[in-house]
């Protein structure tokens, strides 16, 4: 599941809603805040980089794992999967499977 999440959020950003993208950004900023050792930088991240809107807060109310799971379930039909093994591809235009190395370039039809 970790690989699917990485591929989903790095390779399929264009499929996220604006609120989901903001929630994901909040998770990344919170991770940076946790790793930072300078209080002034932590405060700067908190005040300038976090989106505290009610919509974003609602996405993260159950925690990051629940957010990732809901988003992955919502996007499961919109993402690119390998026709051979069904693995999630790295991007929505990829034609090379990261799991089984199957390629299907010849069957690609642009949308």
For residue 53 the two structure tokens come to 């809107």
Residues whose CB is less than 8 angstroms from the CB of residue 29 and which lie 6 or more positions away in sequence, other chains included: 45, 49, 50
Domain limits for position 105: 80-111
Looking at the structure, tell me whether residues 38 and 90 fall in a common domain. no
Domain total of the chain = 2
Taking alpha carbons only, the member of 99, 101, 100, 81 closest to residue 91 is: 81
8 and 36 inside one domain: yes
Question: How high is the pLDDT of residue 48?
Answer: 93
DSSP state of 92: T
Mean pLDDT of 6-21: 80
36 and 61 share a domain? yes
Q: State pLDDT tens for residues 52-72.
A: 999 999 999 999 889 988 888
Q: What is the dihedral of CA 102, 106, 107, 110, to 10 degrees?
A: 110
Q: Are residues 31 and 65 in the same domain?
A: yes
Q: What is the pLDDT of residue 90?
A: 75
Supply the pLDDT for residue 40: 94
Residues 101 and 64 in one domain: no
């Amino acid at each position: 599941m970790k690989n699917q999440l990485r591929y989903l959020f790095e390779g399929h950003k264009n499929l996220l809603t604006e609120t989901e993208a903001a929630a994901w950004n909040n998770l990344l900023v919170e991770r940076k805040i946790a790793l930072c050792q300078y209080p002034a930088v932590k405060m700067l991240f908190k005040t300038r980089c976090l989106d505290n809107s009610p919509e974003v807060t609602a996405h993260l109310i159950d925690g990051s794992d629940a957010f990732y799971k809901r988003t992955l379930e919502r996007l499961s039909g919109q993402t690119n999967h390998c026709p051979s093994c069904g693995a999630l591809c790295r991007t929505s235009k990829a034609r090379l499977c990261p799991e089984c190395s199957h390629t299907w370039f010849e069957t690609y039809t642009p949308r």
